[in-house]
Amino acid sequence: MTKISFIEGAILPIDKPLNWTSFDVVKKIRYEIINHFNIKKIKVGHAGTLDPLATGLIILCTGEKTKTINELIIDSKYYEGEIRLGATTPSFDLETVIDQNYLIPDLDKEILKNIEEKFTGEISQLPPLFSAKRIKGKRAYEYARNNEHIELKPNLISIYELQLKILNKNTLGFSCHCSKGTYMRSLARDIGSSLNSGGHLISLRRIKSGKFKIEMAKSIEEWIDIIKAS
């Protein structure tokens, strides 16, 4: 294996586990590098947030490679996941409990094809209240968790490819290739709304970001072993 220069600068594709925040991953890897190499500090950052309830590819940069983060963030992303129809939650995923139930729509291939076409291309998307988007110096989720009302503005995003499939009567599977800034939770909500029902995200996995694929990623534990062996 090629020697990795963690201190000078490295790009680490990591398979983020469930219930870890992106910052948790950054903090853990930073701690391991500082501890192993006996240094006081090192720059570590990530090239694109992944929600705690999502798994999959997150790109970490260390040292001088943190200067490439802005280049990596703009890369398009690929996701796979599942949408539960017939109900909504305030966070558009399983972080919060169901706040409203709806009739479950009858689905067929033609209906799904129409939805795929509707949500492919350049679209205006309203971010979730429970998101890391910064509003007046605070994260949107901080306002949401304190029950503070804020107005979020829609973002113009691009969905290059969307494929839907029926998993059961109230669950859709999907794969999506999209631009940076696209919220899969908002997509789940909007798909549910377009079906005259409700919808929320129940699973999400990032499988590609730019040139990086999930097959290239290692677990946090694997990266820690590599750091300790350096």
Q: Which residues are catalytic?
A: 51
Q: Give which of 176, 158, 151, 145 is closest to 82, Cα–Cα.
A: 176
Q: Report the C-alpha gap between 149 and 28 in whole angstroms.
A: 33
Helical (H) or strand (E) element with 37 = helix 22-37
Structure tokens at 29: 């890897």
44-46 and 55-63 beta bridge pairing: antiparallel
Backbone angles phi, psi at 201, to 5 degrees: -75, 130
In 97-198, beta strands by DSSP E: 100-101, 121-125, 134-135, 138-139, 155-168, 171-178
Which residue do the tokens 């350049």 mark?
A: 122
Structure tokens at 183: 């919220």
Q: Report whether 205 contacts 79 (CB < 8 A).
A: yes
Q: Most distant CA pair in the chain: distance in Å? A: 60
